A and B are shown apart, each in its own frame.
Chain A
Amino acid sequence: MDIIVCIKRVPDTETHVRFSDGATVIEPEGVKYIMSPYDEFALEAAFRTTEARAEGQVTVITLGDGDSQETLRAALAVGADAALLLRGRRPVTMDGLATAKALAAELETRDEQLVLFGVKAGDDDQQQVGPMVATLLGRPCASNVTSFVVDEDVIRCDREVEGSTEVVELDLPAVVTLTKGAFELRYATLKGIMAAKRKPLEVKDADLPQGRLTVERLDYPPERADGRIIGEGAEAVPELVRLLRDEANVL
């Protein structure tokens, strides 16, 4: 069974995000970009599935600009078989439905039975493109999945639901979005990095509609007042409780 993994290039989680007054996007200078952490779980899930079945190709797809090729190469280096860059004529925005339409237009033309996503992207935190793509394609979808097993023409998924686990079964073809769980991404080997250079990376123009969700302004989160250390050891506890009750009003 061939699998598609949709990935996104996002700023590294340790990056300091900077923007000027009135800006609607962050300044790209000095920002290190990585594959969104949740997409790594999706990619590993794809590898484990094809390995367990001893058949099937893993293709990674991203929607973005030319720089996203770097993220696709990283996916090829850890074991993806092929990559596709859908190059938008306009920038990818926070409007997940516009992104989903561009992806669905491509996926509709392909035969893969399983499409995987990270549950959300590490930049916009919108948590929406996977289920939107599934809905546009008329395929079933399970979101926030920690592990799954493919059995003939169904996929059985464990979903994390507020600390509980829901087990759902979807008919294939299906869409699944992954969260942290059973699938920690393997490291790239030197051999893998060398092999990645010879693997196919196709570039196509994407049909990305105009976004209808517009960032009008970015602000920094409110600064926290400097913290204070109120004491050492268990003797400081009564003072802490007093402050929480009388000053902070939270007990």
Chain B
Amino acid sequence: MGDVLAIAEQRDGKIRPVSNVVVTAAAMVSKGLGGSAHALVLGGAGVGEHAGDLGGFGADVVRVGENPALEGHVPETHAAVIAEAVCSHDYSAVLFAATALGKDLAPRVAALIDAPLASDVTRLEVDGGRLVAIRPIYSGKAIARVGFDASPAVLSLRPNAFGTNGSQADGRTETFTAAIPDSVRTRIVEFQAAESGSVDMSEASVIVSGGRGMKGPDHWSLLEDLQHAIGPGTSLGASRPVVDAGWRPHSEEVGQTGKTVAPKLYLAVGISGAIQHLTGMRTSQTIVAINTDPDAPIFAVADYGIVGDAFEILPRLTAEIAALRSEE
């Protein structure tokens, strides 16, 4: 009892950095529950090559399942194999990253093993020997403290709400051989990859977000210039009106019908701050607002505001940050 399983993610045969976050959390929780931390790495041949590195984030045991059928991300196959791994050991909790992949797999696994699932968790506690999850509901208008009347419990963790904790230890690697389901009715036909180097908003440390004040999709290069000046880990965001107008894709929308985000730095440019937007970003660590209207509601939640024309302010901000970066 007390053992916790972290589900690692791989892309193109390499373990994704978000897995380090989930393993760090599993190590913390298992210590609190008096058990050990396991990690599960699934993929095609060779995926286990660097699996032992997860030991550096606190995994006592790294279970590696290599099979050509696990190379792609056919969800039915992965869910069945993960469920088998969970059932082969007495786990108190199973942790996923709340990424696109984790949000798709976690409910399938929970249903297969008949365990309750708490999604998009922003904090974990062990309170009197029991696991407690803290997660926002009503798109961030309330924070729920959630307990589990079942073991194992399944959780998905919002990546940028958790950190990593490296150690010197090496994880013991074990081979996990799973039965691959033979009748799969899902086929991945095509993957149209996003621009390389972009990071998903849930993992970004900085988000540069634009609203109607940007006056049209042609002006987004100003935000992209700022994104590149700030550097890796920066992603673009958008307000709902901008997405509804077709200026930007829905994947960039922040707020009620988009994503709830909490980066270190959120820059809202030309966004007035409708309640649906504010609920999606108000837990960001630092908020900057740039808007021509000094009465815009966005200024009420912004740590730092500048009143004025984004088309004058953005080039200057990009230049100043680029200068700062070149000094470093």
A interface list, Cβ under 8 A from B: 11, 13-14, 16-17, 19, 26, 37-38, 94-98, 100, 122-132, 134-136, 139-144, 146, 156, 160-171, 174, 179-181, 211-222, 224-234, 236-238, 240-241, 243-245, 248, 250-251
Which chain B residues lie closer than 8 Å to A181 at the CB level? 250
Are B187 and A169 interface neighbours, CB within 8 A?
A: yes
Residue on A nearest B127 in the bound complex, by CB: A216
Give me the 6 closest cross-chain CB pairs, A-B, nearest first.
A163-B194, A135-B111, A128-B107, A171-B185, A162-B200, A233-B308
- A selection of 20 A-B contacts at a CB cut-off of 8 Å is A94-B144, A125-B137, A130-B107, A144-B100, A163-B252, A168-B186, A169-B186, A171-B186, A213-B116, A216-B132, A224-B282, A227-B300, A228-B303, A229-B299, A233-B308, A237-B320, A241-B321, A248-B303, A250-B264, A250-B286
**Contact with A97, one of B79, B116, B289 (Cβ below 8 angstroms):** B116
Are A122 and B116 interface neighbours, CB within 8 A?
A: no
Are A37 and B256 interface neighbours, CB within 8 A?
A: yes
B69 within 8 A of partner (CB):
no
**Contact with A26, one of B138, B186, B251 (Cβ below 8 angstroms):** B138
Shortest distance between the CB of B304 and any CB in chain A (Å) = 5
Q: How far is the CA of A248 from the CA of B298 in the complex (A)?
A: 18
Shortest distance between the CB of A145 and any CB in chain B (Å) = 11
User: Which of B25-33, B45-53, B146-154 binds A?
Assistant: B146-154
Are B189 and A168 interface neighbours, CB within 8 A?
A: yes
Shortest distance between the CB of A113 and any CB in chain B (Å) = 13
Q: Given A132-B107, A164-B191, decide whether A250 and B141 contact each other with a Cβ distance below 8 A.
A: no
Shortest distance between the CB of A185 and any CB in chain B (Å) = 12
Residues 160-200 of B contacting A (Cβ, < 8 Å): 184-195, 198, 200
User: Which of B56-64, B215-223, B309-317 binds A?
Assistant: B309-317
User: Which of B34-42, B87-95, B117-125 binds A?
Assistant: B117-125
Are B100 and A162 interface neighbours, CB within 8 A?
A: yes
**Contact with A141, one of B99, B108, B303 (Cβ below 8 angstroms):** B108
Residues 219-275 of B contacting A (Cβ, < 8 Å): 230, 243, 249-253, 256-258, 260, 264-265, 275
Residue on B nearest A166 in the bound complex, by CB: B191
Are B251 and A163 interface neighbours, CB within 8 A?
A: yes
Which chain A residues lie closer than 8 Å to B283 at the CB level? 221-222
Residue on B nearest A128 in the bound complex, by CB: B107
Q: How far is the CA of A139 from the CA of B185 in the complex (A)?
A: 8
Q: How far is the CA of A27 from the CA of B96 in the complex (A)?
A: 32
Are A221 and B142 interface neighbours, CB within 8 A?
A: yes
- Additional A-B contact list (7), CB under 8 Å, known A122-B139, A123-B137, A125-B120: A140-B185, A163-B252, A164-B192, A171-B185, A221-B283, A224-B282, A228-B303
Are B110 and A241 interface neighbours, CB within 8 A?
A: no
Are A229 and B305 interface neighbours, CB within 8 A?
A: yes
Which chain A residues lie closer than 8 Å to B275 at the CB level? 13-14
**Contact with A142, one of B184, B186, B260 (Cβ below 8 angstroms):** B186
Are A233 and B111 interface neighbours, CB within 8 A?
A: no
Shortest distance between the CB of A123 and any CB in chain B (Å) = 6
Shortest distance between the CB of A118 and any CB in chain B (Å) = 10
Are B103 and A127 interface neighbours, CB within 8 A?
A: yes
Q: How far is the CA of A233 from the CA of B135 in the complex (A)?
A: 38
**Contact with B145, one of A136, A171, A216 (Cβ below 8 angstroms):** A216
Q: How far is the CA of A226 from the CA of B115 in the complex (A)?
A: 42
Which chain B residues lie closer than 8 Å to A251 at the CB level? 230, 265, 321, 324
Shortest distance between the CB of A24 and any CB in chain B (Å) = 8
Shortest distance between the CB of A136 and any CB in chain B (Å) = 5
Shortest distance between the CB of A26 and any CB in chain B (Å) = 7
Interface 0/1 of B275-291, CB less than 8 Å to A: 11000001101111100
Q: How far is the CA of A143 from the CA of B75 in the complex (A)?
A: 10
B106 within 8 A of partner (CB):
yes
**Contact with B108, one of A37, A132, A156, A233 (Cβ below 8 angstroms):** A132
